[in-house]
Structure 1
């Protein structure tokens, strides 16, 4: 084995191909030609004397030797980055890129402005922000932090609770003037509901009333959408009633463009969490953003401590 051929650059290429399963995707991510990524892998395998990856026309997978080597490479690359952070911290401000994934509507309305404020405070840190309601594989997509609404089952990530997001029923005053204001959950059956199709259980709502009474109410209408900002626009247009997160409509409630209804009945609050790739958590710039977002998100309307 020629140790001079085992470079950090080749290790990084190997690790990202192992995670993404695609040479072309890694080439785009690292801003390299695909032939360069292929060469990195071939030279690394030649230096080690064992195949690390099994390649077909459709996918790239790790061999048994590759799986073991991948774990060791992760540890080595993390130590290299941490060592660099420690040296730079004695001389320079934190720098580099942090990759963030966030629930789409929450990201547009609130997280973007928090990131602006964070970058004003730390001008050397770049942020790649991806807005999606899909539950992506953080490691595979090269994401450091993800902010997610709803219950989570990913035990491989570090989980930091950001609180609970409270919901309420709202409608536009001009909709209520035409169709009347529901006084009880049963009255919803006579109204147009704006339903989120990508939210589990959105067709049957659980509510809690006074005296610890519980209700299970069918909910539907002529308009079904899969994005919170579309719900916001539909409400403003008077298309119906919707159960929404307070952070989605707080400004519209304050301006009188929307009104809360069924205020004697409570919808279950939704967990708001931050998922962190464990290997990335100690990196200085990632740690700074984690702490900043956790502190600032607590002040968003409708978010309360867990």
Structure 2
């Protein structure tokens, strides 16, 4: 989920913690627990700082080790330990328990996005992504805001947030039902599809659609059960050439291929320069595919420059790269 949603989740969980008598009967413990749930709801996303290095490092590692099983264990220990040093009269056990719940919920809800997490590390590096909730879901965010407003104006936080979480639970079930219906509709539209990828948007009934058959890639949108296929690309494997092998060793293209399950490629030859471009087919927007990886190689097959990330125009891509021929 996005940062804003994780923040309101942390505050709401702090309110729900008042159901715990040990928390409710101690002002210091209440303060420490609310701080712990808010910080714990943010802590796994500390890897966002990897963007300061480059997109390749960020794409390869975001929601990786910081969302792993060891991290879910270590974050609460670290956060509750620091808070207890600041507020030693707070109940450490209950502070740790609620902070642990905040960290766990952060990782758990991220699994429902299309991006997913490596939540099973170190046992598996597989990305767990159920793809039923958009990274920012206005309904989930809005329900939290309403719950917090009720609390602000005097409603019982425990009752308020129990009702809120019950509503959200039902909402998740509905999202799974809609996702299943969309996949079935895609299967009817593309009977020979071997793999179907549907990704949520901020609109409840609108989903991104990508499908793979033995011969083609398909890209479209779902509006409820109505499927519109916008693009159909012949499925052509990457050439096993020295040029491609050299390009795939680049950190940006390597990060892209580790993240993207469905993409097409383009190879363009300029004067004394080759361009290898990989294009993710999941994120079509206004007739454009903005998530790409590009590498330029010279005649000696050395990487001249490269980039991976979200680009919505060729002009912006030129600015990201040190050099790009006209």
Q: TM-score range with shorter-chain normalisation?
A: under 0.3
Q: Larger strand proportion, structure 1 or 2?
A: 1
TM-score w.r.t. length of structure 2: 0.23
> Over alpha carbons, which structure has the higher Rg?
1
Structure 1-normalised TM-score?
A: 0.24
